[in-house]
Amino acid sequence: MSNIKEIKREPRNQDAVQLLEGVLTQIKENPGATEVLMFVRIDGNYHRFSSGLDDMMELVAMLELAKYDTLRRME
Phi, psi of 38 (to 5 degrees): -135, 150
60 domain-assigned: yes
For residue 28, the model assigns a pLDDT of 85
d(CA 54, CA 15): 28
5 domain-assigned: no
8 domain-assigned: no
Structural domain range at position 63: 14-74
3 domain-assigned: no
7 domain-assigned: no
- Over residues 15-71, the pLDDT tens digits come to 878 888 888 888 888 888 888 777 878 788 888 877 676 666 777 787 788 888 888
45 domain-assigned: yes
